[in-house]
Every structure is written in structure tokens, then in C-alpha cells.
């Protein structure tokens, strides 16, 4: 008898209560801005009706930073991946309020999306801001930044594509640095074993502002896929 181990997820669904605004946005706007998970590659050129740099953010939370980026850079196409429906509803509402045309949303596990829905060498940049640090040692295996994840995104990024990470958890930042530095397909934009000063390109979130007031540090890392 063959047994199949369940994949280790980097998240736990904590749906919480959706506000009426989020629920309405999810019901009314998903057909226009949502992408249902599929076992085949998305054609982003067709989805956006244009060819443009493609940026993917994993775990966009309530979506404020992603909306900010899309408004600031209309020349880019943005794909947001988030498993929590209240956050999806919140971003959909913000998309409508600000008439944002260059965002699409996928509500599904990011690993499966990258594996099955994203063509190899098709992403210009991947963003991972403040992922769950899973602070207890026995839960570290749930952290999304692992060697196998680094290999996966290496196949999806274009040559010279960027993987930008940010965390306010120092021990996780050090793990991110170790994992990414060990992959010969990437180089550290800040230099060997270095973190970046906070890039102006990364929007300041409410979460980060609150952490700043509490004296929390934030560590940024940008790794570039080595040109083939």
C-alpha cells in the first residue's frame, strides 16, 4: 500500500470575519479581477491584454502595498497570491475604488500556483513581504523560504529577475540569507552575507509602521537570478 505525505503548508487558514464591504467586493469583482486556480499555465499576456513586466506578490495580506505598487507603476502587470478571503475582498474593494487595471488575484496556495500556473522564466520579480515567521523551532519547516522553494522560483524568474524579501523577524531573516546564498543561481544585490537598507521601492505597510513605533527592525533582501 502506497501512502502519500501531505505537503507542509507555509500557512494556516485563519479566515476571520469578512466585512460586508469585503464580501460584496469578493462576490461582485472576482469575475473581473480574480483568477481561478488551474492545472495549466496562465497566459498573462492574454489576461492583461498586453505584454508587460510581470510582478508576483506572495501573501499580500490586506493588499495595501500591492495596490500602492500597481498605482505607482502602471507599466507593470501585478499578480497577487493570498489564501485569506478577507484580504482578497479588501484588495478587490481597493482595486475598484482606485480604478486599478493592472492587478489580478489568485486565492490559492502559492507553491501550487508557481508549480502549475506560472510558465518557466516568465516572472520579472517576486515579492515576499513579512511572511509568517513560524517562530517556534518545531514549526520552522513551515517557513516558505526553504532550499526547494529557492529552486522553484529560480525556474520561474527570467534571467536577472529579482526575488525581494522583507521580514521583521531577525532569525528568519538570517535563514532567508543562508538559504538564498547557498543557491548558486542567485547573487545577493547587497553583497555577500549582507542585508539591504530599506528600498524606497517597497511600500511602507501599516504593519511595518506599527512595528517601527515599537522599535522593531526590518531586514530586506534582494537576490538576482544569475544571467544564463
Please report, for the chain, the start and end positions of each structural domain, with discontinuous segments joined by +: 47-225
Name the CATH topology of 47-225: Rossmann fold (3.40.50)
| Predicted pLDDT at 15 | 61
Q: Which of 109, 124, 132, 168 is flagged as catalytic?
A: 132
The confidence band for 14, taking pLDDT boundaries of 50, 70 and 90, is low
- Residue 146 confidence (pLDDT) above 90: yes
All 3 cell numbers of residue 152? 522553484
- Residue 36 confidence (pLDDT) above 80: yes
Nearest-10 crossing angle of helices 147-156, 170-181: 60
Summarize pLDDT for 56-110 with one digit per residue, the tens: 999 999 999 999 999 999 999 999 999 999 999 999 999 999 999 999 999 999 9
- Whose CA is closest to 41, among 131, 113, 143? 113
Instruction: Please say if 132 is a catalytic residue.
Output: yes
Q: What is the DSSP string of 4-62?
A: -PPPPPS------PPPHHHHHHHHHHHHHHB----SS---HHHHHTS---EEEEE--TT
State mean pLDDT over 114-121: 98
| Predicted pLDDT at 136 | 79
- Whose CA is closest to 71, among 51, 92, 101? 101
Amino acid at each position: 500500500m502506497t501512502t502519500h505525505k501531505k505537503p507542509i503548508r507555509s500557512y494556516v487558514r485563519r479566515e476571520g470575519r469578512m466585512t460586508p464591504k469585503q464580501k460584496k467586493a469578493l462576490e461582485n469583482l472576482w469575475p473581473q479581477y480574480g483568477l481561478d486556480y488551474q492545472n495549466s499555465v496562465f497566459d498573462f499576456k492574454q489576461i492583461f491584454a498586453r505584454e508587460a513586466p510581470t510582478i508576483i506578490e506572495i501573501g499580500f495580506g490586506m493588499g495595501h502595498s500591492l495596490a500602492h505598487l500597481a498605482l505607482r507603476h502602471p507599466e507593470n502587470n501585478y499578480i497577487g497570491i493570498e489564501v485569506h478571503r478577507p484580504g482578497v475582498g479588501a484588495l478587490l474593494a481597493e482595486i475598484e475604488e482606485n480604478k486599478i487595471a493592472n492587478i489580478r488575484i489568485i486565492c490559492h496556495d502559492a507553491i501550487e500556483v508557481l508549480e502549475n500556473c506560472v510558465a518557466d522564466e516568465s516572472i520579472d520579480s517576486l515579492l515576499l513581504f513579512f511572511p509568517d515567521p513560524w517562530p517556534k523551532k518545531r514549526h520552522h519547516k513551515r517557513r516558505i523560504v526553504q532550499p526547494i522553494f529557492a529552486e522553484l522560483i529560480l525556474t520561474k524568474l527570467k534571467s536577472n529577475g529579482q526575488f525581494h524579501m522583507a521580514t521583521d523577524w531577525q532569525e528568519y531573516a538570517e535563514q532567508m540569507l543562508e538559504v538564498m546564498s547557498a543557491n548558486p543561481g542567485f547573487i545577493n544585490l547587497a553583497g555577500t552575507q549582507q542585508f539591504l537598507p530599506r528600498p524606497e521601492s517597497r511600500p511602507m505597510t501599516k504593519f511595518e509602521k506599527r512595528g517601527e513605533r515599537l522599535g522593531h527592525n526590518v531586514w530586506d533582501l534582494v537576490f538576482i537570478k544569475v544571467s544564463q
